[in-house]
A and B are shown apart, each in its own frame.
Chain A
Amino acid sequence: NAGVTQTPKFQVLKTGQSMTLQCAQDMNHNSMYWYRQDPGMGLRLIYYSASEGTTDKGEVPNGYNVSRLNKREFSLRLESAAPSQTSVYFCASSHLGVGNGYTFGSGTRLTVV
Chain B
Amino acid sequence: ELKVEQNPLFLSMQEGKNYTIYCNYSTTSDRLYWYRQDPGKSLESLFVLLSNGAVKQEGRLMASLDTKARLSTLHITAAVHDLSATYFCAVDIGGTSYGKLTFGQGTILTVHP
Which residues of A are interface residues toward B (Cβ below 8 A)? 31, 33, 35, 40-45, 48, 50, 58-59, 90, 94, 96, 99-107
Contacts and interface: CB of A to CB of B under 8 A. Distances in A.
Interface residues of B, number: 22
Given A101-B33, A106-B41, A40 B105 contact: yes
B34 to A, nearest CB: 9
Interface of B: 4, 9, 31, 33, 35, 41-43, 45, 48, 50, 88, 90, 98-106
A36 to B, nearest CB: 11
Contacts, number: 54
Given A40-B105, A90-B42, A101 B48 contact: yes
21 contacts: A33-B101, A35-B103, A40-B105, A41-B105, A42-B4, A42-B88, A42-B104, A43-B43, A43-B101, A43-B103, A45-B100, A48-B100, A58-B100, A96-B99, A99-B48, A99-B50, A100-B48, A101-B33, A104-B42, A106-B41, A107-B41
